[in-house]
Structure 1
Amino acid sequence: MQLSNFFSFMLEHYKHARKEDLGDLHGSLEDLLLIFYKNGLPSENNSYIFNGDFVDRGRNSIEILMVLFVSFLVYPSDLHLNRGNHEDFMMNLRYGFTQEVLYKYKLHGKQILKVLEEVYTWLPIGTIIDDEILIIHGGISESTDLNLLHRLERNKMKTVLMPPMSVNRDQAVDLKKDKAGKIMTSGKATSSNSLSEQLSKHEWEQVIDLLWSDPRSKDGCYPNTSRGGGCFFGPDVTAKFLSKYHLKTIIRSHECKPDGYDICHDGKVITVFSASDYYEEGSNRGAYIRLAHDMSPRFFQYRATSASCLSPLYQRVEVMEYSAIRILKERIIARKTDLIRAFQLRDHSRSGKISVAQWAFSMENILELNLPWRTLSPHLVNIDSDGNVDYMSIFQDVHIVKSLETVKSAVIETLYRYRSDLKIIFNIIDSDHSGMISIEEFRAMWKLFSSHYNVCIDTTQIDELAHTMDLNRDGSIDFNEFLKTFYIVHKYDKLKTPHTKFAKFAP
């Protein structure tokens, strides 16, 4: 779908692509960085859907928006951002994001908030994948009409907290929330300027239901008294809705779950919540879902504990930046010949150097990426004291990998040869299919191994091994950590026949 069409519909449709779906982040940058560490950065081969509530409550909401918006600009077809009930300027006034922006950007804070208020209105309120899975932030009601939502001009919904009525935009609206989470508003309408003046009441209610509703085990559809907006919808409402629109599953967020996710309504409704330790440390795990065509959803849990966040934040951000630069260099090396030709056309003296402006123009012209090349230049090339770029230095630490048949070191070859076997082993140990091996599952595996082979292994040794494999110290082992533990190193043993290879497992 082209960018010009991306903003045309209330509901977006995508087909046949593996995607990771994430729920509420609520300003928890620790969780976002941990997700990218475990699952990789967004790219053409690694698509993401973030299902709303990026901001409020957490301390790093603006940083999360920066990361997500930049990722969207680089990969507009592979990163998707649904609107949540907290992508609303009135919610931000009450729950912290407005104050965060004004504190961090004292000079331009109000201008930033004004821009974000407009950006919120353009965020899709739903995503449909493979004509089978509906992803929305909250839920549905018995009157949810996808055809109406598809036609609705979402940019006219400035805030979901004010129904279409005559109100003064500049009048202060008092937002209150009781202990049960019910939102209450007070204030009198004094002007003909409405915050949602171009939407009908029925259209407004449709959006409210999608952003605020929650599933319950009781049949029927009844008012969501705990929130003050949307409804509680039962299994019968879900079944009727899915049948009407020929869908199979609803994936939503909006509710914190102890395990980071929850499945209800006979497997037809899945809740995913991505902010770990939402209430306090140890209160809940975060999770994301991996979706692939013709495959069941896979759940991955994590917790951004103090142990996994020992490094200062700026160091972990630098790690993510390094990964982004590495991905960018892969694109650069793919256009090496074209880039060299472009550089040389501007290098009239054949000195091997051109100005930063010429280098940036060449990069933009060849790669067709709308990136701040001047800002990126110190990370990509060597620049002398006169401000000239040694343009060949961009290739000095990037090399085209030879085919596996000609690589002398067979590490990559062997690793990928046995990757499927290691994946099978990993899934066997991961008995609850969470996508992570817990310490308890690791102990159970070794206990079975010990009894089968009559080998005595001390519990402390098992725990020490598990601790070694848990590279990011989050208390569990994901597949990437498991894979790194079994790097297979081939080497020639000079004491043996020259062509004899030996394998060594390096934990």
Structure 2
Amino acid sequence: MGNKQGKPARSKSVGDKPVASKAKETTEKIVPSNEAATPESPPDQEEIIEQWKLFNDLENREEADVLQLSRFLHALHDHMPASATTTSAKPTLQKLISSDEHIGPIDISDMYKGVHLDQPLSLANVRDLIGSYKRAACLHRSYVVQILGDATRLLQALPNVQRVSIAPAKHITIIGDLHGQLDDLLLILRENGLPSATNPYIFNGDFVDRGASSIEVVLLLLSLFVLYPRHVFLNRGNHEDESVNERFGFKKECLAKYDVEVYDLFSLCFQHLPIATVLDDRVLVLHGGLPRWHPLLADWDAIPRADFFGTKHTNRSLKGTLSPPDQAMQSVCDILWSDPQPERGWKESFRGAGIQYGPDLVKDFLATNSLALIVRSHECVPNGFAWPFGEQTPLVTLFSASNYTRAGNAGAFMHLSADATEPPMFHRYRATASEHDFVGGNLDGLYSVILSHRDELRTAFEAEDASNRGLVSVDTWQRVVEDVLHMGLDWAKLLPLVTSVDHGNVAYIAFLDRYQSSTADATPAKRQAFNSLYRHRYRIEALFHALDRDGNGVITLDEFQAGLAILNQHLPKDILPFDHPDELLRAIDFSHDNRVNINEFMESFRLHANLTVQAKWRRARTKLKAMHHLGMLKPAVRADVA
């Protein structure tokens, strides 16, 4: 089964002539990108590893910060005593199923010139929808509701773990994260063919967020699922979650293209997605990884998967001795959020949700459940697929969004044969040309991390500066930065990009003064978090006055701490209290003066935050490019081109 027969995994793709693979005896081909092929010298492997470590660390840190900020803002808005507000009720499954809006013929206005869908959906409808999305057309709202209603009813009837036989097809195609990148999905469907009885597909979660076409991607996937429910299988990812969608783009896109009711229907649909698929009783496909509880796959079907809600079931939310229902929710969180680690055993993930699990847990889980291979996604990898523990431990990461957030990575999809003796086949591609500013993008993220820890860095530097000269040695600077930021980076390499050195010393005050923001500054993810509550600005103003106890127009740390104490008293029993007021205040204190005035508080919720952080960082980008042209910086990883 899988790789247990001793055959190596193969890698190829459609288009162009094969080129010999140095790593394997099989041939390897790459789907050409839209950019002209240019010869390049091989990238330095240490530089590749360093840049990808920084990329993944920054992304994980961002997700952890956003999860905590999301949890706080939701609790503040829902449970802090202030003026009463009315909230619209969420749609229930019964309402969705019984709604007259998607029963019988749909009356569409003569003004609509887009695609029309039948009930039930036909293959011709799906082909028309693909063509429409290629032209950047928008599907009528009524048809969106029709697709969501049909898909949700089908999903609600499925078990948590889908058990699938590949035969009579020769193989099944597995797709990793797409993250709203329509070009990648269209390329896969064009080159690999539409789903059918002889061409089944599994889409392994994270259909939405970050990319610009999340609506189109997920509606195409749901349409294919409604058309072929026995040949298209959908797994839930950690981004199929309302609390995550509010921060990473899908909600904003949905409100721009449709409305909040449609967004709520998407959220309801996501709740009923299965959490895993088993192929031929030998291969497990799931989004993130293994749970700390429930080592028996047979126990997963008893979990009420629709009850899972991201910010309610994070590592920080679920602490101490857990009840069986809480263990079940933590297992769903682990399945959606977890990542492999080289060390044995497991530990809680610094993403803020899920765990990091070692090769010993993978081998034990496979043996306990008589499985041969685990296919997971969740992490961007340079070549579109990777074996985190080497091919001797049968767990593979598959990622299908090429050039994800301009990282320059290839995307990949996987063929798993119905013949258990055949190894998996991987097809790599790049759907779009890349401006490729991987290093610059990493520096943008690093800028935000330094900015958010500026006060802690200053305190740590001052503790090392006994003579109060404002100087520390290079070695001390590197040690302090790592001790505060905990990123495990080679700061010696990054030093020239973030500060200056004079006679072996770093002027830490000048270094930190580079990292200042005005009241309106915010990272994109934090701006997303505040944008989602801007519609409740009067409620937000009342919340500010509830926190500002002395009425002087400024919330201090003491007032904030007192306000949290009141909030904690009003939290439901299933929500853990907030016990780190300094961290939460820092998240909304964009001027970094340890207090928040009413203008700053309200500005935080504005729909159009000032983007001066990017403007201030242009100097660093210019310096980076100059260093590159002078040969002072080795090139970062680039995906292969034909």
TM score, norm. by length of structure 2: 0.41
> SS at the partner of 2:311?
coil
User: 1:14 and 1:247 mapped to 2: Cα distance?
Assistant: 14
SS in 2 for 1:134: strand
Which of residues 192, 207, 210 is equivalent to 1:39?
A: 192
> Which residue in 2 is equivalent to 1:129?
279
Aligned CA distance change for structure 1 residues 284 and 236 (closer, same or farther; 3 Å) = same
More helix by percentage: 2
Q: Is the 8 A contact 2:159 2:301 kept in 1?
A: yes
1:59 paired with 2:184, answer no
- Structure 2: segments with no counterpart, 5+ residues: 1-152, 318-322, 435-639
Deviations 1:11-67 (A, max 9, x none): 110113321101100000010001111111111211110000000000000000111
Query: What is aligned with 1:431?
Result: none
**TM-superposed deviation, 1:148:** 2.4
Contact 1:142 1:241 in 2 (8 A): no
1:5–1:61 CA distance, 2 compared to 1 (3 A)? closer
Question: Which consecutive segments of 4 or more residues in structure 1 shift more than 6 A?
Answer: 3-6
The aligned counterpart of 1:221 is 346
C-alpha displacement at 1:126, in angstroms?
0.3
Supply the distance in 2 between the matched residues of 1:475 and 1:160 (Cα, whole angstroms). Answer: 38
**2:250 matched residue in structure 1:** 97
What SS does the aligned partner of 1:222 have? Answer: strand
Q: What is the Cα deviation at residue 5 of structure 1? A: 8.8
Amino acid aligned to 1:21: I
Give distance in 2, aligned partners of 1:71 and 1:16. Answer: 18
CA shift, 1:98, in A, is: 0.3
Higher strand share: 1
Q: Which residue of the partner structure matches residue 398 of structure 2?
A: 272
Secondary structure, counterpart of 2:347 in structure 1:
strand
The structure-2 alpha-carbon separation of the partners of 1:110 and 1:43, relative to structure 1 and needing over 3 Å to count, comes to same
Give the TM-score of the pair, scaled to structure 1: 0.51
Q: What residue number does 1:115 align with?
A: 265
Q: How do 1:78-89 residues align onto structure 2 when only pairs under 5 Å count? A: 78-89=231-242
C-alpha displacement of 1:259:
0.2
Cα distance between partner residues in 1 of 2:349 and 2:214: 27
Residues 81 and 124 in structure 1, CA contact (< 8 A), matched pair in contact too: yes
Output the amino acid matched with 2:427: F
Count residues in correspondence. 274
For residues 296-315 of structure 1, the aligned pairs below 5 Å read 296-306=423-433
Over 3 Å counting, the alpha-carbon distance change for 1:204 and 1:303 in structure 2 is same
Q: Indicate conservation of the 8 Å contact 2:276/2:286, yes or no.
A: yes
Give deviations 1:432-476, integer Å, cap 9, x for gaps. xxxxxxxxxxxxxxxxxxxxxxxxxxxxxxxxxxxxxxxxxx944
Greater RCO between the two (CA within 8 Å, min separation 6)?
Answer: 2
Unaligned runs of 5+ in 1: 165-182, 186-197, 308-473, 477-507
From the superposition, tell whether residues 200 and 104 of structure 1 become closer, same or farther in structure 2 (CA, over 3 Å).
Answer: same
Residue 329 of structure 2 corresponds to which residue in structure 1?
Answer: 204
Secondary structure (helix, strand or coil) at the match of 2:202 reads strand
2-side partners of 1:69 and 1:14: how far apart?
18
Contact kept? 2:155, 2:272, Cα under 8 Å:
no
- Paired residue for 1:154, among 305, 316, 322? 305
Q: Which residue of 2 aligns with 1:163?
A: 313
Aligned amino acid, residue 94 of structure 1:
R
The alignment-based identity, stated in percent, is 39
* Partner residue of 1:252 out of 352, 376, 384: 376
- The answer (yes or no) to whether the contact 1:263–1:270 under 8 Å persists in 2 is yes
- Secondary structure, aligned partner of 1:306: coil
**Take 2:257 and 2:410, find their aligned partners in 1: how far apart are those partners?**
29
Query: Structure 1 residue 199: deviation in Å?
Result: 7.8
What is the Cα deviation at residue 161 of structure 1? 2.2
Q: Distance in 2 between matches of 1:61 and 1:244?
A: 37
1 CA distance for matches of 2:383 and 2:154? 39
* CA offset digits 1:351-370 (Å, max 9, x no partner): xxxxxxxxxxxxxxxxxxxx
Contact 1:142 1:237 in 2 (8 A): no
For residues 228 and 156 of structure 2, the distance between their equivalents in structure 1, rounded to whole angstroms, comes to 13
Is contact 2:383-2:428 (8 Å) kept?
A: yes
Report the CA distance shift for 1:4/1:98 in structure 2 as closer, same or farther (over 3 A).
closer
Q: Which aligned pairs between 1:72-471 and structure 2 lie closer than 5 A?
A: 72-105=225-258, 109-145=259-295, 146-157=297-308, 159-163=309-313, 200-225=325-350, 227-265=351-389, 266-280=392-406, 283-293=408-418, 294=420, 295-306=422-433
Deviations along 1:280-332, one digit per CA (max 9) or x if unpaired, are 16x2000010011222110000001239xxxxxxxxxxxxxxxxxxxxxxxxx
**Aligned CA distance change for structure 1 residues 184 and 286 (closer, same or farther; 3 Å):** farther
- The Cα RMSD (Å) is 2.5
Q: Does structure 1 conserve the Cα–Cα contact (< 8 Å) formed by 2:210 and 2:405? A: no
Task: Describe the shift of the 1:14–1:38 C-alpha distance in structure 2 as closer, same or farther (beyond 3 A).
Answer: same
Distance 1:292 1:30, change over 3 A: same
